[in-house]
Amino acid sequence: MSQFLSNCSVDALATAAQSLKGGSLVAFPTETVYGLGADATNASAVARIYEVKGRPADHPLIVHIADLKYLEQWISDISEYAIALAREFWPGPMTLILHRSKLAKDFITGGQDTVGIRIPDNSLALGLLEAFHKLGGAGVAAPSANRFGQVSPTTANAVQEELGDYLSDTDLVLDGGQSVIGVESTIIDCTGELPRILRPGAISIEMIKEITGLEVSESTEMNSDDFKQEDIRVSGSLENHYAPKAKVFLDQIPVEGSGFIALESINTPDGVMRLAAPTSVEEYARVLYSALREGDHQNLDSIYITQPTGDGLAIAIRDRLSRSAKGR
Ligand code: TXA
Ligand code: MG
Q: How far is the CA of 61 from the centre of ligand 1 (A)?
A: 5
Checking if the pLDDT of 295 tops 70, the result is: yes
Least confident of 222-226, 250-254, 269-273: 222-226
The string of DSSP codes covering 57-104 is TTS--EEE-SSGGGTGGGBS---HHHHHHHHHH-SSSEEEEEEB-TTS
Q: What is the mean pLDDT of residues 212-217?
A: 96
- Looking at the CA of residue 118, tell me the nearest atom of ligand 1: 7
pTM: 0.94
- Nearest ligand, CA 235: 1
225, 239 contact by CB (below 8 A): no
Q: pLDDT tens for residues 140-167? A: 999 999 999 899 999 999 999 999 999 9
Q: pLDDT tens for residues 96-129? A: 999 999 999 999 999 999 999 999 999 999 999 9
One-letter amino acid for residue 314 of the chain: A
- Closest listed residue to residue 124, CA positions, set 53, 209, 66: 66
H or E stretch at 275? strand 273-276
Q: What is the mean pLDDT of residues 247-255?
A: 96
Q: How far is the CA of 143 from the centre of ligand 1 (A)?
A: 6
Cβ of 143 less than 6 Å from ligand 1: yes
Q: What is the DSSP letter of 23?
A: T
- Nearest ligand, CA 147: 2
The rounded percent of the chain whose pLDDT value lies above 90 is 85
Q: How far is the CA of 254 from the centre of ligand 1 (A)?
A: 33
Q: pLDDT tens for residues 273-282? A: 999 999 999 9
Checking if the pLDDT of 266 tops 90, the result is: yes
